[in-house]
Structure 1
């Protein structure tokens, strides 16, 4: 080999220069490492402070997260020598920092949520409206001057008087025409006897259900003036009243009261859904006992609630106008049971919660198909499985006109919706929708169950993952037309069968005692073998206005027709 060849072969091959990592990238990686470490530390602190997850689950998960975070930080800052790997690890740290930031946000929101739903508002809002017919020429408060205004003082005398005083303070001179019943008031309003009416806003849904021309009351009229005032909320449900020591060991009963309104929960409204949920955490049994909204009952008034007609006969739904406490105490007296906790929701609650879990699935039996829901005009349901989003789930839970059994079928639908929602919340898919679900829970409901009890039940669910057995029962009765003091009028009601009231009480007690409610014999479905509840011992409300519900001294059915009294 020549000398020239040897020199050529021995020549060193130059190595590629390693690209220098920019100081900016190094500093950014360090800052993200500090931020990530701080956020994961605060997240762990919040999770332990929240006290919602069992330690057997929380400690391993937290340990793995902290270990992985430390490994990533060490590798990103001390082991990455190449620019590409440094960029990748910096992006990974940015993702971790963002994730921990969102985690802290949701855990903080969850902590506030418990405080929000368990701290019941101490004020209740009341809204009194002055309604005028569209096209009547009365568009604002000044147009009321010199006009005739109809009112029914028994439908919230305090609120109506406040509204009259407000009008007087603004130099609006009106002539009032007082009626005795809601039906009489509307008849005079629609037939030109008065130019406008003053009415508590809570009666709008009553009017809607009266049928005929009144169905479109909200469209045919407009509110030209509103008086809003606040009253103290009843404090009859003391913090220690009826509570169990631990809801993960002791059986308990919860009243779910669903208001027929949207928006805020700081207003009283009719209790359209009345469901007792009896839970035995030892036997993993859940009994849902539904009470139809039209059930004819004697009202039990909470202490401190003014104008509540104690021991008078009304629909159960109207007890909600005096607060969930009135509904609670009325049901307790009717069935002779103890309600340990109450949960109050409204239309907005159900829509938001169902949407937050990406809808629920319900099974519709043959013959129960609905083309279009009467409640809100949305698409109905077909035979078999149906996936319902929020508005359709609400319509399904409210529908009664499409069914032969009416209100009886509606309460079955409500039980079905609640069970489907509970199953969806307990499913693994909730992990993907957890953030939306927490957002939807805010303002969705209120309860007198302490926050620590709720957290303990969630810990129990995570730790035990029990397979709950759902059982159902619905109180039944006979449809009748009776006088209701709250409306000062006759209305279509359901007089309960004594056998169904007794069965409800016994089934609830069976679950509390660790047995199945199915161990209690079902009442007969033959009305001839059943006994109607005797309400004669209560107030003779039919004589309130001299034995007639009409100020005209006529039979109300002869005056208006049957459809007027369908609310």
Structure 2
């Protein structure tokens, strides 16, 4: 009798909408759990310990939901609460899966880049009616006689296939080419775009870009020779060259001047980083031919030439590089919601209509300043407001970089991570591989995220500040003679980092 009554009561407990809602969400939660765990494994960013902990947490959460949702129960409140929790947890897991995928995609885009581009332009006068290459048939073209000959011949060969024989006139310098174009000796120029900023540095050609227009660009790609590191990136000291381009329209992979030149000497075992800023106008011998030139001009011959010039100066062996389009700072800093930077001085700078943002005067006070993207860029670019010009600009650039790193590593970055990843993937590249980056991330999970970061800047020495430069033949250009005595001081601190000693930087002289 009792058994029949119990059976009758059991039959009366039927699955309701709450039951089916709970069961559906139980399966949704299970699928989302599998998806986020698979994505986290694919990123390779988490240590085995952290993956095991996450897997255990997911098993517990899903096990509890199965325990609550599968059995028939008279009280539906527990099922309803678990179902709602499953909705919230599933939404969070979907967000996490998408976020992890976005991080992985962005890092894959910027890491392991081993290609550089050279852009050769066909240039005519602004008022010329030609709008594309086909309109220049019958023109006489000015070319450089002894510079960038391989790229020039490649574009000439391509032009002759479609236009027939092309008449050319050779000149020794870009300035002579510009004069020939102005005087109608030639109707067009074939010139590597990297030489245009060098030309506009000269007094008589500052308006060259305003008087001319580019109607065609010929792009060639060159593979960067791989540099084999001396050891594991998580165990052995290494050096990274951080290059910043100040050309607003430049392709991030293009060979162009490097306006920011920072070596990061890293010892992962002692958790120490030494940042060394070298002014762009430092007057140094080029590595490939020994000719004297500005450091910034070394970038015209490829990022490895810039690395070699700095290695010769400091006695380092640089294995990695990171390149940033400095104009991308606007997007990166804005995506972070601005950054806080300490200024050593109060100053103002006017930069005209910067990047189409309109004419503005940018003001900074001594002390802490909260800067948006454009203000951060102007802060990092200004040098004329300071008595030591490029030296202070280098220090300010490192302040901006440090502020960005601090903001990126704070929890607030999660609120706008998609815009940040897009800004970084559009404006940054490195030859550090994806696997090496994830190895560093795993190392920091095990040993902590704190680093001892110190900075030094090369100083101006004595000597003539106007010298002839190999890459810009013609009039002497402003240069900065190196202070080799202080370079030796920097070398000694580099040795401290490489040898695992605590960084001790000599006190800066007071002004």
- TM-score w.r.t. structure 1 length? 0.76
Matched, 1:202 2:185: no
SS at match of 2:318: coil
Residues 346 and 364, structure 2, Cα contact 8 Å, conserved in 1: no
* Structure number with larger C-alpha Rg: 1
SS at match of 1:339: coil
- Residue 208 of structure 1: CA displacement? 4.2
| Partners of 1:33 and 1:210 in 2: CA distance | 71
| 1:541-552 map, 5 Å | none
| Partners of 2:270 and 2:71 in 1: CA distance | 55
**Distance change in 2, residues 1:378/1:286 (3 Å):** farther
| 1:410-559 map, 5 Å | 410-478=393-461, 480-489=465-474, 490-520=476-506
Residues 266 and 497, structure 2, Cα contact 8 Å, conserved in 1: yes
Which of the residues 253, 275, 282 maps onto 1:288? Answer: 275
| Partners of 2:510 and 2:139 in 1: CA distance | 55
1:98 is aligned to: 91
1:169 is aligned to: 161
Unaligned runs of 5+ in 2: 1-11
Residues 134 and 222, structure 1, Cα contact 8 Å, conserved in 2: yes
1:380 is aligned to: 362
Unaligned runs of 5+ in 1: 1-17, 302-309, 527-567
Residues 198 and 472, structure 2, Cα contact 8 Å, conserved in 1: no
| 1:349-360 map, 5 Å | 349-360=328-339
Residues 260 and 269, structure 1, Cα contact 8 Å, conserved in 2: no
Matched, 1:129 2:112: no
Residues 144 and 174, structure 2, Cα contact 8 Å, conserved in 1: yes
| 1:70-469 map, 5 Å | 70-72=63-65, 74-75=67-68, 78=71, 90=83, 92-121=85-114, 123-171=115-163, 175-210=167-202, 214-215=206-207, 217-231=208-222, 233-235=223-225, 237-238=226-227, 240-241=228-229, 243-247=230-234, 249-261=235-247, 262=249, 264-301=251-288, 310-347=289-326, 349-370=328-349, 372=351, 380-383=362-365, 384-469=367-452
SS at match of 1:413: helix
Residues 106 and 422, structure 2, Cα contact 8 Å, conserved in 1: no
Residues 199 and 472, structure 2, Cα contact 8 Å, conserved in 1: no
| Partners of 2:203 and 2:55 in 1: CA distance | 59
Residues 124 and 230, structure 1, Cα contact 8 Å, conserved in 2: yes
The Cα offsets for residues 390-414 of structure 1, whole Å up to 9 and x where unpaired, read as 3332332223344443322221111
- Residue 300 of structure 1: CA displacement? 1.9
1:559 is aligned to: none
| Partners of 1:263 and 1:493 in 2: CA distance | 24
Residues 245 and 324, structure 2, Cα contact 8 Å, conserved in 1: yes
SS at match of 2:56: helix
SS at match of 1:353: helix
Residues 506 and 520, structure 1, Cα contact 8 Å, conserved in 2: no
**Distance change in 2, residues 1:120/1:164 (3 Å):** same
The Cα offsets for residues 363-382 of structure 1, whole Å up to 9 and x where unpaired, read as 12234343557865555242
Residues 507 and 520, structure 1, Cα contact 8 Å, conserved in 2: no
**Distance change in 2, residues 1:264/1:224 (3 Å):** closer
**Distance change in 2, residues 1:312/1:263 (3 Å):** closer
Q: Tell me whether 59-68 or 311-320 shows the greater mean CA deviation.
A: 59-68
| Partners of 2:94 and 2:320 in 1: CA distance | 35
The Cα offsets for residues 132-181 of structure 1, whole Å up to 9 and x where unpaired, read as 22223333434423334333233411222223333333336664333211
Q: Tell me whether 33-42 or 326-335 shows the greater mean CA deviation.
A: 33-42
Residues 202 and 321, structure 1, Cα contact 8 Å, conserved in 2: yes
Residues 379 and 392, structure 1, Cα contact 8 Å, conserved in 2: no
- Residue 518 of structure 1: CA displacement? 3.5
- Residue 416 of structure 1: CA displacement? 0.6
| Partners of 2:182 and 2:291 in 1: CA distance | 30
SS at match of 1:38: helix
| Partners of 1:130 and 1:251 in 2: CA distance | 45
Residues 373 and 380, structure 1, Cα contact 8 Å, conserved in 2: no
| Partners of 1:264 and 1:450 in 2: CA distance | 21
- Residue 130 of structure 1: CA displacement? 1.3
